Amino acid sequence: MKSLKYVAAMAAFGLCLITANSGYAQSNQKAMFGFKISPNFSWVKIMEGPMQNNGLGLGFSYGITGDFSLFDSENYWLSSELQITTLPSKVSYTGDLLKSTDSTDMTYQDVSFDYSMQYLQLPISIKMRTTRVDGMGFWFQFGLAPSIALQSRVSTRCNPEIYNALEGINSHKPNETTNSIYDFDGGENKTNTKQFIDDVAGFRLPMIVGAGFEKEIGGNALFIAGLRFDNAFTDMMKDSRVVARNNMLSIQMGVVF
């Protein structure tokens, strides 16, 4: 329900921006607004700790964008966005055994974690555009994309399975203490209030670098497409022994007016 409220608010905001821009952008093109969709491929870079990346994740972003001319130039722009990004992250434990935090003494091996993270991203960047020739031009951008976690879930696979099949549970919210029975105890130097490789950070700060092309499709409308590398500076995990960063490469597509 929370994510639906964010989407509704974002859609209303985008409609207001595009409506307000309909006359202004046509007169001098000092600002352009539009929408984007971006499928992405994600992975986790383990900086330290007994973990490793466990394959690529396939995610998706969508949202609105606004570009504002800098120095009254057609080539230098300040680009801002508001988007919802799903960023899957897959990791596996490289140690021997993990112990559950429940009352049993059962241990687990071959443990892997599949995180489904959803962020509200606010990318802001400097965009450099070439002068369009025959309606075609190219762009390059770099900047930051502060991100706030809206939702997070984790599915755990191991031998034996930690989930109770009779309860029909196959995933849980990692940051909630009410389902800590499905968490793992990190063993040495760990406390009961801080579980091992389960809880995730609520804030993410990546650097973004992208490039692509734009094509006039009629009137003031431009079709834009390209690639963007999203490289996180911040730690994904809330664990003193593990430092991990979730990164992604996305395909940018959209229309601006």
Number of independent structural domains in the chain: 1
What pLDDT is attached to residue 49? 86
What pLDDT is attached to residue 202? 92
Residue 68 belongs to domain with CATH number: 2.40.160.20
Mean pLDDT across the stretch 162-189? 66
**221 part of a folded domain:** yes
* 29: CB partners within 8 A, 6+ apart: 69, 74, 220
Q: Reply yes or no on whether the pLDDT at 102 is more than 90.
A: no
Quickly state the pLDDT bin for 94 (edges 50, 70, 90): confident
Give residue for tokens 């801080």: 194
Residue with more model confidence, 110 or 206: 206
Mean pLDDT across the stretch 191-198? 52
Q: Reply yes or no on whether the pLDDT at 20 is more than 60.
A: no
**215 part of a folded domain:** yes
What pLDDT is attached to residue 160? 72
Residues of the domain holding 118? 2-20+30-256
Q: Reply yes or no on whether the pLDDT at 192 is more than 60.
A: no
**121 part of a folded domain:** yes
Q: Which amino acid is at 229?
A: F
Residue with more model confidence, 102 or 153: 153
Mean pLDDT across the stretch 241-255? 94
**100 part of a folded domain:** yes
**140 part of a folded domain:** yes
Q: How far apart (Å, rounded) are the C-alpha atoms in residues 80 and 68?
A: 8
**25 part of a folded domain:** no
Q: What pTM was computed for the model?
A: 0.81
Cα–Cα distances (Å) from 93 to 5, 156, 194, 232, in that order, read: 36, 11, 17, 21
Q: What is the percent of the chain with per-residue pLDDT over 90, rounded to a whole number?
A: 54
Q: How does DSSP assign 175-217, residue by residue?
A: T-GGGGGGSEE--TT--TTS-SS--B-SEE-EEEEEEEEEEEE
CB atoms inside a 10 Å sphere around CB 101: 18
Report yes or no: 88 and 57 within 8 Å, Cβ to Cβ. yes
Q: Reply yes or no on whether the pLDDT at 219 is more than 90.
A: no
Q: How does DSSP assign the chain, residue by residue?
A: -HHHHHHHHHHHHHHHHHHHHHHHHHHH-SEEEEEEEEEEEEEEEEEESSEEE---EEEEEEEEEEEEESTT-SSEEEEEEEEEEEEEEEEEE-SS-EEESSSS--EEEEEEEEEEEEEEE--EEEEEEPPPBTTEEEEEEEEE--EEEEEEEEEEEEES--S-GGGT---B-TT-GGGGGGSEE--TT--TTS-SS--B-SEE-EEEEEEEEEEEEETTEEEEEEEEEEEE-S-SB--TT-EEEEEEEEEEEEEE-
The pLDDT tens digits of the residues spanning 27-75 come to 467 899 999 999 999 999 999 988 899 999 999 999 999 999 998 888 9
**109 part of a folded domain:** yes
**167 part of a folded domain:** yes
